[in-house]
């Protein structure tokens, strides 16, 4: 599964403003909640519950908050850039700048894991991360992700 098969342009945020984990999650879920037709508060609650198990700040300036929702019809993906970076309790203790938000239906474990693995894999590419950090708007972000998505 390619990232661009599920990432909608409306779910890309080029300039997240929040300065803490909860604020970032609230900001990220805004457009995703609309696409998934769920209440933003419910989505934030699911993500915070997952964060209690261990941070989804995986290091290297990357956060992949994710969770599963019972009444969700299909997988939804969001993306956000924090220009300043935020303390996301990352594994390496460094600020997180790049966020992929993944919400999946409760019964779709295989799909969830495949997409998480794909996102993790492309984010190991430092030039790709640098291009994302330099992107000015959602169109440029989507173009960069599409370009990388084609190569994997």
What is the DSSP secondary-structure string of 97-149? EEEEEEEEETT-HHHHHHHHHHHHHHTT-HHHHHHHHH--SHHHHHHHHHHHH
Q: Is 66 a catalytic residue?
A: yes
81 within 8 A of 141, measured Cβ to Cβ: yes
Say which of 39, 66, 97, 112 is annotated catalytic: 66
62 within 8 A of 96, measured Cβ to Cβ: yes
Cα(16)–Cα(99) distance, integer angstroms? 10
Cα(152)–Cα(19) distance, integer angstroms? 33
Q: Pairing state of beta strands 96-105 and 76-86? A: antiparallel
Q: List residues with catalytic annotation.
A: 66
């Amino acid at each position: 599964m390619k990232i661009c098969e599920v990432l909608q342009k409306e779910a890309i945020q080029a300039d997240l403003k929040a300065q803490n984990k909860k604020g970032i999650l609230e900001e990220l879920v805004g457009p995703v909640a609309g696409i998934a037709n769920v209440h933003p508060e419910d989505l934030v609650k699911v993500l915070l519950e997952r964060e209690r198990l261990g941070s989804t700040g995986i290091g290297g300036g990357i956060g992949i908050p994710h969770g599963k929702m019972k009444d969700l019809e299909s997988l939804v993906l969001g993306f956000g850039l924090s220009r300043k970076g935020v303390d996301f309790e990352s594994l390496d203790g460094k600020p997180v700048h790049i966020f992929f938000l993944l919400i999946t239906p409760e019964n779709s474990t295989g799909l969830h894991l495949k997409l998480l693995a794909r996102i993790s894999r492309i984010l190991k590419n430092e030039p790709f991360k640098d291009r994302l950090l330099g992107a000015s708007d959602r169109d440029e972000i989507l173009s960069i992700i599409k370009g990388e998505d084609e190569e994997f």
